[in-house]
Amino acid sequence: MKYFTELTKQKQQLFYLEPQEYESDNRTLYQYALGANLYMNGLRDLYDTLVTKGIEARTVTICFEDSIAYTDVEHCEKELQIFLERLIEDGNVHEYLPAIFIRVRGVEHFQHLCQFLTDGQLRQLTGFVFPKFHQQNAHQYLKQLNFLNTYIGKTLYAMPILESARLIYKEKRISELTAINQILETYRDSILNIRLGGTDFSATYGLRRSVEMSIYDIHVIADCLADIVNIFGRQRDGYTISGPVWEYFSPDVTSAEVRGLLNEVLRDKENGLIGKTAIHPTQVRYINATYTVTYEEFQDATQIVGTKQTGGVFKSEGANKMNEIAPHLNWAYKIMARAHIYGVLAKGYDRTALFYQE
């Protein structure tokens, strides 16, 4: 898999280092590579959307939960099965087919899909998204996934969504998060990413952020997100955590909807989150472009990693900051991972250069 393959040759020249190939079976690197995770429902023609026409997203989630009615579930399951079977018939010919995840409706639905889909069809997937994830259902989800992976001989990843009321309620939050963290440790190799349900958290209080505000301006939600990062985002033994969905979209890069999206993705990054749920194709390019590495960031990270044995403090190549090796080393490792996946922009260019396609 590889990012920005849709760009013209002229656009490719914007990179100092172009995005490199990455593999989903390299969890250490792949956890940073989800980018804009585009949600879609199974009512659409999946083969036409993902194969015939193609999309910019490198990660898609086919949603069986909130995006479809209960009466449509059986139809969507059959469409999913047809789609996966066509991928098998095609063979390994879709070089840049996005990674495919399934967002199940719950534990019982997940168990049903494990039986409904054939081994070959399941192997076309990259993993599952588990909604309303909490300590009472965590073992059920992950034990079933562990059994499935053993049975089909492939690691399908889990992406649990933290979005239940017991997490947003402060008096229950820390004990619940701690319990979930302990459960995840048992299944660590299968946990690719932890996702955040900002919309569900907001719904608990009857809130919805306006286009002028980010999730970090809604203090009761931001307080919860901070605790989640505190427990799950620790460098030594933590996980990657993705940003919640931005509900607004527009084809106009100058619109309030796009400006708000960009602002929130930047604030996601500053708060330790990488990757973001997308609910419209127009969001994908802006989200993914934000994860590219600037020339200055790359030079700083290269200097820090290159001098990790000696330590100390050095003036940056740009002579505008001090790079302190010990405290900045973990940041530098993440920058190098993003540089491999999303590329490094040429000197003098910023990410807005990628917003427009000739």
**Cα 346 vs. chain centroid, distance in angstroms?**
25
pLDDT of residue 44: 84
For the question of whether the overall pTM of this predicted structure is more than 0.85, the answer is: yes
Cβ contact 65:75 at 8 Å: no
Whole-Å CA distances, 296 to 145, 257, 292, 310, 323: 42, 28, 12, 22, 12
User: Residue 241's CB: how many other CB atoms inside 10 A?
Assistant: 23
pLDDT of residue 357: 59
Whole-Å CA distances, 223 to 55, 111, 125, 257: 35, 34, 34, 24
pLDDT of residue 237: 82
pLDDT of residue 135: 95
Query: Terminus-to-terminus CA distance in the chain, angstroms?
Result: 23
Reported residue count of the chain is 358
Structure tokens at 311: 């330590």
Cβ contact 73:116 at 8 Å: no
SS3 assignment, position 41:
strand
pLDDT of residue 318: 80
Q: By C-alpha distance, which of 204, 210, 133 is closest to 168?
A: 204
Cβ contact 30:22 at 8 Å: yes
Q: What type of residue sits at position 108? A: E
For the chain, domains (ranges, CATH) are: 1-20+293-358 (no CATH), 21-292 (3.20.20.60)
pLDDT of residue 206: 95
**Cα 253 vs. chain centroid, distance in angstroms?**
22
Q: By C-alpha distance, which of 166, 110, 102, 108 is closest to 134?
A: 166
Low-confidence ranges of the chain (pLDDT < 70): 357-358
DSSP state of 188: G
